[in-house]
């Protein structure tokens, strides 16, 4: 029996047919770690925008710009001043690289998008050198 749209407004998403490694290999520009980082960073960005509370049927979409900012913060929180070097080792040197990974994940059904989303939303969101080097502040230790 098909789902009742009144009770289940979102159709279930098909599970990905390809492994994350296969998606990374097909794109060929970024390591598997880059894809895993973007997936983890999406959760970070969504929680930053919407909080940790999940309400049924709540739309928790983030824009390309919001995701880029979340990925920047997440990378800085994980690696501090080494963030840009870690991302570069994986092949990520610009916000457009984030977009290419996101859209590969969308195509492979690991992520979803709205009709308004475009890979262009990721173009030149910020300059990596400025965002990861000069804007970084060492967090204060609580004593």
What's the rounded Cα separation, in Å, for the pair 134 and 143?
A: 26
Q: What pTM, to 2 d.p., does this model score?
A: 0.82
Q: What letter does residue 131 receive in the DSSP assignment? A: I
pLDDT tens column, 9-27: 455 567 778 999 999 999 9
Amino acid 60: pLDDT:
80
Reported as a pLDDT band with limits 50, 70 and 90, residue 7 is: very low
For the range 41-49, what are the long-range contacts, defined as Cβ-Cβ under 8 Å and sequence gap of 24 or more? 41/67, 41/70, 41/71, 41/74, 41/75, 42/67, 42/70, 42/111, 44/70, 44/71, 44/73, 44/74, 45/69, 45/70, 45/71, 45/74, 46/70, 48/73
pLDDT tens column, 73-121: 999 999 998 999 999 999 999 999 999 999 999 999 999 899 999 999 9
To the nearest whole percent, how much of the chain has pLDDT over 70? 83
């Amino acid at each position: 029996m098909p789902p009742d749209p009144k009770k289940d407004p979102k159709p279930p998403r098909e599970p990905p047919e390809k492994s994350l490694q296969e998606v990374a290999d097909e794109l060929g520009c970024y390591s598997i770690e880059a894809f895993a980082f973007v997936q983890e960073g999406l959760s970070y960005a969504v929680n930053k925008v919407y909080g940790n509370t999940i309400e049924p049927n709540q739309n928790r979409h983030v824009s390309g710009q919001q995701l880029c900012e979340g990925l920047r913060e997440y990378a800085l929180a994980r690696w501090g001043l080494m963030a840009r070097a870690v991302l570069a080792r994986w092949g990520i040197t610009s916000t457009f690289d984030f977009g290419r990974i996101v859209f590969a994940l969308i195509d492979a059904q690991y992520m979803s998008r709205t009709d308004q989303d475009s890979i262009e939303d990721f173009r030149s969101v910020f300059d990596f050198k400025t965002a990861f080097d000069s804007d970084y502040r060492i967090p204060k230790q609580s004593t």
